[in-house]
Structures are given as structure tokens and as C-alpha cells.
Amino acid sequence: MRRYKFSDLLQYENRVRKLFDKYELGFNSTNRIVRYFKYLREIEENRQLNKQEFGKILQKDKAKYYYSQFYVLEICNLIDALERRPQDLIIIKNKLADLAKGTYLLSEENSADTRARDTTFELSLFSFLQSRGLDVDMCEPNPDLRLKSEKFVYEVECKRPQSIKSLEKSIKKAARQLRKSTGNDVVPTIALSLDQILFKGNDLILDSKDEASASNFLNATLEVFLRDNLKMLQKVIDKDSCLVLYYLSCLVGFKTNVPMANATFITGNVYNFENQLSHTIYGDLNALIPQSSL
């Protein structure tokens, strides 16, 4: 888990503004990211109130407080990633334009208004992989990401199903798109964000006693999801050879007086490669993204 201080996030605002200005995109009240920063600045100003009054302010709109931090943190990570590894200018401009739209809270999102958070997932996965020093690039239109190791090229299609019911449709669409990914060293990869499936309607994300209990809860949540949906996933994948990654990223608030943390968990399954190749892919992936580093 990555711990951070609330005040650190506010220091990114000018860098975010410069990024949007660079691509001639509006950084004003219509921009969702601007609204997050505005709210966080108001919270910072109210810190001068006594502890009891400040606590009342947070409890009144805890979801807004958490989500403002979460999405500001996501774009802070993106800025760091782009500074370390610049990307195609047109792709980034299109992604930032999408990122600026959408609903304020996850619970406000509907099936017709998912593009902003769908794009957020692509950018967040890029940032997550890049922060580990991996050779990853954004692509357009397909795949969404290309991750290179010494052994393989992982061509990644990112999907963010809105429910268990839409999970099957998302996987089928990604599998069709990945059939164009060919080559001896290419591993077709489906990355699934599970925020709407596992946290639907839960804007508070996760309140936990401490870091250990938060980690245990998130690991167990993913394990239950995999166990409950394995047969369905096997049926949908059918005979396609692919790697499926399950991604869960959230803000963790502790009940002790410690900084907040951002937690990202990734696990996966390898489908329909011959045995030796499956073991090699699994070993390579574990070397790229060790479970202990998540």
C-alpha cells in the first residue's frame, strides 16, 4: 500500500493545470478534476476549525471527501508516470479529455456515462505498471496498453464491467479484440477492473482498522470473486488463449491516526496455453508484478 499525506495531493494542482493547458484542454469548473481539487482546498481551509467541528464536516460528506482524494491521487500518479515515460501526444490528449468528464461519485455513475472512469482505469493501470519501472505504453485503438518484458509482449485490453451480468459481455468483447494480437511472444491479456462489481454503490471504499486488516479484506474479496466466477469465466474464454488480470484499486482509510493509503491488487488466471508456456507466463508475470509489491 502506498501511504500519502493529504497536503501532498494539493501540491499537484498546478502541475495538473499545466498538463491540461499543454493539450489546450479546459481546466475550469466543468472539469471533474478541478472540482475534486476545489473541494480538497476547502477541506484544507477548514482544518483551522476545532477537531470536533472538523470531524462533523467530514462525517457530513465522507463519500465526497474520500473520492476527491482517490481521484486526485490517481491523476497525481499519472502525472508522475508521464514525466518518467512520455507518451503519444494525441493519445494523451484524448485520454485527458475523457478523464475530465463523468460523474463526481462512483455511485452517481450510470451505464450511459462510464467513459471517464473507463479511461481512468486504463490510465491507472498504465501508471501502476510504469511506477514499477516496467516497459509499458498506451496504444490506440487496440490494444489499450502494451507491456514488454524480456520474454513476452503483453497486449492488454482494459475492461470495466458494470455488473456481474455485464462481465461476460466485457470479456467476450476483449477476447474478440485480442484475436488480432498474434506473434510467438505475444500474450493476449484482458485486464478487468472490478470496482463496479465489488464496490457498487459504496462510495466510502474501505474503512479499516489497520493496514493488515485492509490487505486481508481486499485479498479475500478477490479470492471469493475468482472462486464464485471461475466456471463462468472458463465458459466465456472457451478455447481462446489469454491471460486475464483482475484489478482492484481503492482508497483505504484507517481508524487509527495514520496517513491514508492507496491499495492496488492484481491477480489473474492463464487460460488455454500449453502447460510449459503457461508456467513461463505465470513466472514472468510474478517477476513483473510480485504479489508482495502490490
Give the residue-averaged pLDDT of 34-49: 83
DSSP 34-98: HHHHHHHHHHHHGGGS-HHHHHHHHHHTHHHHHHHHHHHHHHHHHHHHHHHS---HHHHHHHHHH
Evaluate the omega torsion of the peptide bond into residue 259 and state whether it is cis, within 30 degrees of 0.
Answer: no
How many Cα atoms are found within 13 Å in the side-chain-facing hemisphere of 236? 21
Yes or no: say if 275 and 241 are a contact pair by the CB < 8 Å rule: no
Q: What is the pTM of this model?
A: 0.88
Instruction: Give the tens place of pLDDT for each residue, 84-104.
Output: 999 999 999 999 999 999 888
Instruction: Give the tens place of pLDDT for each residue, 142-183.
Output: 899 999 999 999 999 999 998 888 888 999 899 889 988 777
The yes-or-no verdict on residue 260 having pLDDT over 60 is: no
Give the residue-averaged pLDDT of 126-130: 94
Please name which of 217, 202, 230 lies closest in space to residue 263, comparing C-alpha atoms. 217
The yes-or-no verdict on residue 43 having pLDDT over 90 is: no
Cβ neighbourhood burial of 85 (10 Å; 0-12, 13-18, 19+): middle
Query: What band does 258 get if pLDDT is binned at 50, 70 and 90?
Result: very low
The cell for 62 is: 465522507
Instruction: Give the tens place of pLDDT for each residue, 103-125.
Output: 888 778 887 788 998 999 999 99
The partner residues of 148 in beta bridges, in order of sequence, read 135, 153
Q: Which pLDDT does position 165 carry in this prediction?
A: 82
Interacting residues of 215 by C-beta distance below 8 A, sequence separation 6+: 1, 263
Span of 47-61, 69-83, 171-185, 264-278 with lowest mean pLDDT: 47-61
- Map residue 17 onto helix, strand or coil: helix
| Alpha helices, DSSP H, located in the chain | 6-10, 13-22, 32-45, 51-60, 62-84, 89-99, 115-130, 164-178, 195-198, 211-237, 275-288
